[in-house]
Amino acid sequence: MSKLGGVLVARADLAGALESFYDSLAIRDRLTQSDWSNGGWQHDLAMSHGEIGDVQVAQGDFASALSSYRDSLAIFDRVAKSDPSNADWQRSLAACYARIGDTLNKSRKTEEALDAPPRGASIIMTEEALDALRRNHAIIKTGEALDALRRGHAIMVRLTALSPDNAGWKRDLDWFASQIAALSQ
């Protein structure tokens, strides 16, 4: 984590934190571009995208956060596949899936909380049609969230099998299971 960005998040200066994380992303991107074979730099680059996504979630900008998390996921996926025995990279991939699933779920809940149809839309569509669109959109987002959480869960199952005494991984595995159960209801 960019230390300055982390301090700014702790001080609730989200705009400043976002700027710091983008600066860190630029540096990490240049390093990665100079040597694509360096998995550590790629991992750090993916972490930067995740840090940016975390701030965007805190700001309520779920669409931007999902974009940042998906950028992070693409890198984590590539790095994790390059060294399947690297437990840290596998854990980072699982955590990224968790962030995506959680953000999709938050986004869905936020949209459901809107009780009035968009202005102008009611002229063209009936209230029932708008409700149906909202329900369909929520179902799609729930499906995407479940898929992301299930992928992360599968990674944590594999990691926990490799180290059954790792309490942190067991907690992560339980968290994934609880999130999947809650969304499946």
Residue of 71, 63, 62, 67 lying closest to 28 (CA atoms): 71
State yes or no: pLDDT of 81 exceeds 70: yes
10-65: pLDDT as tens digits: 888 999 999 999 999 999 999 999 998 898 899 999 999 999 999 999 999 999 99
- 49-66 as b/e, with b when 16 or more CB fall inside 10 Å? bbbbbbbbbeeebbebbb
State yes or no: pLDDT of 180 exceeds 90: no
Other Cβ atoms less than 10 A from the Cβ of 126: the count is 10
- Who's near 133: CB < 8 A, 6+ residues apart? 125
Max CA pair span of the chain: 60
Give me the residue label for tokens 């998906």.
70
Other Cβ atoms less than 10 A from the Cβ of 164: the count is 8
Chain centroid offset of residue 34 CA = 27
Length of the chain: 185
107-166: pLDDT as tens digits: 876 665 444 344 433 334 445 444 544 554 455 566 778 888 888 888 889 888 888 898
Residue 117 pLDDT:
42
Residue 158 · residue 90 · CB < 8 Å: yes
Q: Rounded to whole angstroms, how far apart are CA atoms 13 and 11?
A: 5
Residue 1 pLDDT:
54
Residue 52 pLDDT:
96
**Domain-by-domain residue ranges, the chain?**
1-61, 83-185
Residue 38 pLDDT:
92
Residue 59 pLDDT:
93
DSSP secondary structure letter of residue 164: T
State yes or no: pLDDT of 86 exceeds 90: no
